[in-house]
Amino acid sequence: MSTYGIDLGTTYSCIARLDSNGNPEVIRNNEDNSNTLASVVFFENENNVIVGQVAKDNIETDGDRVVQFVKRWIGKTDARTYTFDDKTYTPTEISALILTRLKNIVESQGDTVDDVVITVPAYFGLEERSATKQAGELAGLNVLSLINEPTAAALSYCARQFQEDRTILVYDLGGGTFDVTIIKMSMTEEGGIQKIKVLATGGEDVLGGKDWDDKLYDFILRACCDENGLSPEDLDAETRQDIRSKVEEAKRKLSQKEKTKVRIDVNGARTEIVITRNDFERMTADLVGKTMNHVEGTLQKVPDIDIDTVLLVGGSTYMPMIKNAVEARFPGKVQQHDPDQAVAKGAAIYASMLGLTVENDTADTETSESESNLSDDKRAELAAKFTVEDQTPRSFGPGVVDTKGSKNKYILENFIKIGEKMPAIATKTYYPIEDNQERVRLRAFENRSMDDALIPCVNEEGEPQATDPAHMVKLLGELIVNLPPNTPKTTPIQVTFKVDASGVHVEAINTSTGDKFETFLRTASDIDIDKSAVHQLRISSD
Ligand code: ADP
Ligand code: MG
C-alpha cells in the first residue's frame, strides 16, 4: 500500500512520498522533464485530453480548448463550468483530471497510489475543501485527509530540524496566488510532541508568477515590435504564442543569470531580444512591493508577534528579487529549500503519519512490509513528533435580529472565529421576534472576518445585501425551527454551531418544550430562500 502527498496547485501540481529512509521525495514528471506538473488541461478532441506542459504550450493558439487556474473556481458557489465536444466539466472534474495525471505518473514508474493527503490553501472554506476531496475521489484516490499548504510546508522544513517552539511566517508566492501565513509550532513539556497552529492568514487570490510573466511578455512584445517597426496588432497568434511560450523560461533563466536572450520569429523574421535581470526587476518592483504590503498586513493581525523563521515557498520565490526583499525585512531569518516541492513533501510526511494510524486501526488487514514505502519505526517516530491541530478555516455564525437600537438590525453574529481548534462549538440563546411566531428561520453564514458581528450577505427578507468583499460572507444554509401554537416571544431558543473538518452542524433547542432541530451544512448550493415567510430570532429577551 502506498501513501502519497499531493500539492494540487493553481499553476503547478506535485506528488511526493517518503522513501525507505523516511525522507520525502518528489516523483519526477519525466514526460515534461520536471518535478512538477503544469495544472493545465487541453481538450484536443473528444478522445484526447492532455494535462501538463503540452497543454500549456497550446494556450495562445488553442486558448478556447485549454483550461487553467481551475483552482480559483473549485467549490465556489458561482463556479463556472467548461464545455468541450458536448461534454460539460465542473472545476472539480477538471481538478480530477489533473489528479489522475499525477496518479498516472506514479503508476508509469511502477507504484500504485492508494491513500493520499491533498493540500489546500489555509483560507479555503468548507465548500472548497469538500470539492477538493471530491476531486480526489473522482480520480480514484482514497483521500485520508486534506492539510493546509503552509502547514505542509512547515512540516517539510521541520522534518529537517525540529527542536524548540517557533513562530514561522510562510511566504508562498506561486504561479497565480500569494499567501502569507503565520504559524506557531510548539513542543509540549511531556513528550516533545509538536503542534502546528495557524495564527493568521493573508495574501491575494490573483497575484503570482503569472503577473511577472505578463510584464515580461509585454516587454518582449514591445521590443519585437520596436525592432521590426510594427505595432502590436500586426503580430499574429503564432508570434504571440512564441513569445508566451518563451516568457516563463526566460524568467526562470533570470533567476540564475544576470541576463538572457530570447529569439522570436516575428512574422517570419528572426528577432533577438536581450533582457537583463535589472530590467526585469525594475519592471516588476511594484509586484514585489505588493507582496510585502500583504506581509505587513498579516503581521498586524497578530499584535506583538515575534517571527523566528520565514519560509519561502512557491516556485516564484526562486526569483532573487523575492529573497532579497524578504531578507531585507527579516534579516537572517529566511529559509528556502526546494520551494516548489516543499508543500507536496510536507503532505507526504503527513500522509505517512495518517497511514500509520489507519494501519493500526485495521491491524487485522494484512500489510506486507515490502509493499510499504516507509519503515514502521520511522513512521512511528514521525507520528510521535507531530500533531497537526486542525483549525476552523473560516468564521461561522447565525443571522439574527438586533432589537437594541432604535431600528431593528439584521446582523451576523460570529460564534466561531477563524483559527479555533476543531471541533469548535459555541452556543447562544436567542428569542422569537414576536408572540405566536410559527417558526424560526435560522440562517448559517461563513465568513473571513474576525469581527464579533457583521453584515450578512442577505437581509432579513433574504434579499442580497452589500458586504465588505474582504469578509467573503457566504450563506451556508438554513434550519427551520417550528414553534408550537401560542409560543411567547420570551421563549429561549438555544442555538449551537459545531464546526469540524467535514462541515457545520447547526442545532436549535426550544428550551421550554425541549424540541430539538438540527441540520448539517456542507455546501452552499441549492439554498432556496423563501421570502414570503420571514421569521427570525432576536438577540435579547426584553
Ligand atoms: P502553484 O502556484 O501552482 O502552487 P508553484 O509554487 O510551483 O505553483 O509556482 C509556480 C510559479 O513559479 C510559476 O509562475 C513558475 O513560473 C514559477 N517558477 C518556477 N520556477 C521558477 C524559477 N526558477 N524562477 C522564477 N520563477 C519560477
Ligand atoms: Mg502552491
pLDDT in tens, 214-270: 999 999 999 999 999 999 888 888 888 889 889 999 999 999 999 999 999 987 789
Reported as a single tens digit per residue, the pLDDT across 44-68 is 999 999 999 999 988 877 889 999 9
SS3 label, residue 465? coil
For the ranges 13-17, 409-413, 458-462, the lowest mean pLDDT is seen at 458-462
Q: Determine the Cα angle at 393 with ends 391 and 394, to 5°.
A: 125
Top mean pLDDT of 197-211, 318-332, 442-456 is at 318-332
Ordered DSSP codes for 121-148? -TT--HHHHHHHHHHHHHTT-EEEEEEE
Burial label for 469, CB within 10 Å (0-12, 13-18, 19+), is exposed
Residue ranges of the alpha helices (H) in 301-341? 320-329
Is there a contact between 66 and 41 (Cβ–Cβ < 8 Å)? yes
What residues are paired with 45 via a beta bridge?
Answer: 48
> HEC states along 338-380?
CCCCHHHHHHHHHHHHHHHHHHHHCCCCCCCCCCCCCCHHHHH
Ligand 1 atom nearest to CA at 177: 2
Look at ligand 1, atom 22, and give the residue with the nearest C-alpha: 252
pTM of this structure: 0.77
Question: How far is residue 340's CA from residue 321's CA, in Å, rounded to a whole number?
Answer: 17
CB of 405 closer than 8 Å to CB of 138 = no
The whole-number average pLDDT for the span 352-365 is 54
Ligand 2 geometric centre to CA of 51 (Å): 18
Ligand closest in space to the Cα of 315: 1
pLDDT of 135 above 80: yes
- The rounded Å distance from CA 420 to ligand 2 centre is 24
Cβ contact 92:135 at 8 Å: yes
Please tell me the distance from the alpha carbon of residue 453 to that of residue 398, in angstroms, as a whole number: 10
Q: Is the pLDDT of residue 425 over 70?
A: yes
CA of 209 to the centre of ligand 1 (A): 6
pLDDT per position as a tens digit, 376-412? 555 555 555 555 666 787 899 999 999 888 888 999 9
Nearest ligand to the C-alpha atom of residue 122: 2
